[in-house]
Structure 1
Amino acid sequence: MEWLPEVGKRGWVVLTKDGKISNNRLERIAVARAQIKMFTFASQSLSGEEMAGILLQAIVPMKRFVSKHPAPFIAKIYRDGHLDMWKDAQMLLEELQEF
């Protein structure tokens, strides 16, 4: 997660298939510290082709989502292309303060 601060500084958005972030508090804290906007696929058993298809459906909603929600956040992308907030800025920052 050493690369996250640079991503945060540049204002880039992270797209990952890493489902472990839901169980790894240190990774979530790194996201919060770096002020990252992150999307993760809800299913970790997707092929590259499936992820590409989902991303094509979700890219426009993702752009709107990013413009409406302040960093940091972690949102999930589902097979049908719909998005749900999983951890918003308030939740992540509270977790960071508890750390």
Structure 2
Amino acid sequence: MTPPAQPVFFIDWCLGKTVANTLLEAGACVEHHGNYFTPNTPDAEWLSVVGDHGWIVLTKDKGIGTNPLELQVIARANVKVFSLASGNLTRQQMADLFAGVLKKLEKFTTGNQAPFIAKVYKDSRVELWRNRTQLLKLLK
């Protein structure tokens, strides 16, 4: 599937509706996990669907970047993932952080080829964590 002109951010269940609503108010295109999947849908399952749609994952789930199965799904489905480096923020703090770096995320996605996993830090830094080459090696 061809990605849309404006990036679509897929909000993982663990971030909640506050992040989704705040990003919508900031002008982002947003899809929320709860609109497509149950809360207990395995990450490997929904990551594959998100990749098929060309959506960009926003999460705070640290396991997505370390679980071998999930890493392989990210690689195979060409998923772009942004994960909060600090998961111990309030929902509103997470929402404000993602809204504050929205333009950085959009620019980052155009400058980095999928698949990748990047970290979003409290100080608004966005840094590549696992790049395309590293992820695609997992498929060999």
**TM-score between the two structures when normalised by the length of structure 2:** 0.66
Q: Report how many aligned residue pairs link the two structures.
A: 97
Structure 1 position 5, deviation (Å): 2.1
Letter of the 1:37 counterpart: K
Deviating 4+ runs (over 3 angstroms): none
Q: Which of 28, 46, 67 is 2:89 aligned to?
A: 46
Please provide the CA RMSD for this pair.
Answer: 1.1
Who wins on radius of gyration, i.e. which is larger? Answer: 2
Alignment of 1:9 onto 2:62:
no
Residues of 1 paired with 2:87 and 2:73: CA distance?
21
Q: Which residue matches 2:5?
A: none
Provide the secondary structure at the position in 2 that maps to 1:51. Answer: helix
1:12-51: CA deviations, max 9, x gaps? 1000110122331111111111110000000111110110
> Relative contact order: is structure 1 or structure 2 higher (C-alpha 8 Å, sep ≥ 6)?
1
Which stretches in structure 2 are left out of the alignment for 5+ residues?
A: 1-43
Residues of 1 paired with 2:63 and 2:50: CA distance?
20
Which stretches in structure 1 are left out of the alignment for 5+ residues?
A: none
The 5-angstrom pairing of residues 1-99 of structure 1 reads 1-97=44-140
Percent sequence identity over aligned pairs: 40
Residues of 1 paired with 2:53 and 2:66: CA distance?
27
Residues of 1 paired with 2:101 and 2:61: CA distance?
18
**TM-score between the two structures when normalised by the length of structure 1:** 0.91
Residues of 2 paired with 1:49 and 1:75: CA distance?
21
The 1:59–1:21 alpha-carbon spacing in structure 2 relative to 1, beyond 3 Å, is: same
Residues of 2 paired with 1:67 and 1:91: CA distance?
19
